[in-house]
């Protein structure tokens, strides 16, 4: 897994078995091996130290709850990578919702919104839902590029991928969004 330390498969499997047998020291060892990398990955996505620590706490809470049922179909590091990105995206979505709620509450509610504004909100909401349906890496790259305005070079550095890989994932995200939002296209012309 990119950016996360991998134990040899036999050591990792043995530690997971020990965790499943109730050995807290085995979980502590897995935590020690992976915690720093989970925090770094979360920080690369969120660019917020406290947020990255919160994400790591949530990820390891999930690990602790799910390891007793672990079947070993994937490497733990691979699962941690996906779980970290998913928790980051959940946090980003939650913060975006809270921001929108704050913005709406600060507006004068007595005056009705113009039709154009309502339509824009509908389109933005549809885009947000479509972005949430993208694969995790595409979501991350799309958000970093569109919402935070980062150049591909910086996105590639943060996610430890090539610039070409970042561009390709961004292009796939755009294609996926076009496909998911195809039924909204007639409205877009009136919004612009």
Instruction: Report the CATH number at residue 44.
Output: 1.10.1740.10
Enumerate long-range contacts of 31-34, CB under 8 Å, 24 or more apart.
Answer: 31/60, 33/5, 33/7, 34/4, 34/5, 34/76, 34/77, 34/80
On whether both 95 and 153 belong to a single domain, the answer is no
On whether both 98 and 147 belong to a single domain, the answer is no
pLDDT higher than threshold 60 for residue 167? yes
Q: What domain count does the chain have? A: 2
Helix or strand (DSSP H, E) at 120: helix 115-133
> What's the pLDDT at 13?
86
On whether both 101 and 116 belong to a single domain, the answer is no
On whether both 95 and 56 belong to a single domain, the answer is yes
> What's the pLDDT at 111?
54
Domain end point (choices 57, 79, 108): 108
| Domain containing residue 85 | 1-108
For range 158-166, the mean pLDDT: 89
For range 106-134, the mean pLDDT: 70
> What's the pLDDT at 63?
92
CA distance 175 to 180: 9
On whether both 80 and 128 belong to a single domain, the answer is no
On whether both 116 and 177 belong to a single domain, the answer is yes
- For the chain, what is the mean pLDDT? 82
Domain end point (choices 46, 77, 108): 108
CA distance 38 to 71: 21
pTM: 0.53
b/e 123-141 (16+ beta carbons within 10 angstroms → b): beebbeebbeebebbbbbb
Domain end point (choices 108, 138, 159): 108
On whether both 89 and 146 belong to a single domain, the answer is no
Helix or strand (DSSP H, E) at 3: none
> What's the pLDDT at 94?
86
pLDDT higher than threshold 60 for residue 127? yes
For range 60-86, the mean pLDDT: 89
Least confident stretch, 12-16, 37-41, 92-96, 103-107: 103-107
Q: Is 161 exposed, middle or buried, given 0-12, 13-18 or 19+ CB atoms closer than 10 A?
A: middle
On whether both 59 and 118 belong to a single domain, the answer is no
> What's the pLDDT at 39?
95
On whether both 81 and 101 belong to a single domain, the answer is yes
On whether both 103 and 159 belong to a single domain, the answer is no
pLDDT higher than threshold 90 for residue 35? yes
Name the band, by pLDDT with cuts 50, 70 and 90, for residue 159. confident
On whether both 20 and 64 belong to a single domain, the answer is yes
Name the band, by pLDDT with cuts 50, 70 and 90, for residue 168. very high
On whether both 102 and 8 belong to a single domain, the answer is yes
């Amino acid at each position: 897994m990119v950016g996360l330390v991998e134990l040899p498969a036999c050591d990792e499997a043995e530690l997971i078995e020990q965790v499943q047998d109730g050995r807290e020291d085995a979980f502590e060892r897995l935590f020690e091996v992976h915690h720093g990398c989970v925090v770094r990955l979360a920080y690369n996505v969120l660019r917020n130290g406290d947020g990255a620590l919160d994400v790591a706490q949530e990820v390891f809470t999930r690990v602790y709850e799910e390891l007793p049922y672990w079947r070993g179909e994937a490497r733990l590091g691979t699962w941690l990578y996906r779980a970290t990105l998913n928790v980051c995206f959940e946090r980003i979505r939650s913060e975006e919702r809270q921001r929108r709620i704050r913005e709406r509450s600060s507006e004068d509610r007595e005056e009705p919104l113009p039709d154009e504004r309502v339509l824009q909100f509908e389109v933005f909401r549809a885009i947000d839902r479509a972005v949430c349906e993208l694969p995790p890496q595409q979501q991350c790259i799309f958000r970093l590029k569109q919402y935070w305005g980062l150049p591909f070079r910086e996105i590639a550095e943060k996610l430890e991928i090539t610039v070409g890989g970042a561009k390709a994932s961004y292009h796939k995200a755009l294609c996926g969004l076009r496909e998911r939002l195809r039924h909204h296209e007639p409205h877009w012309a009136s919004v612009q």
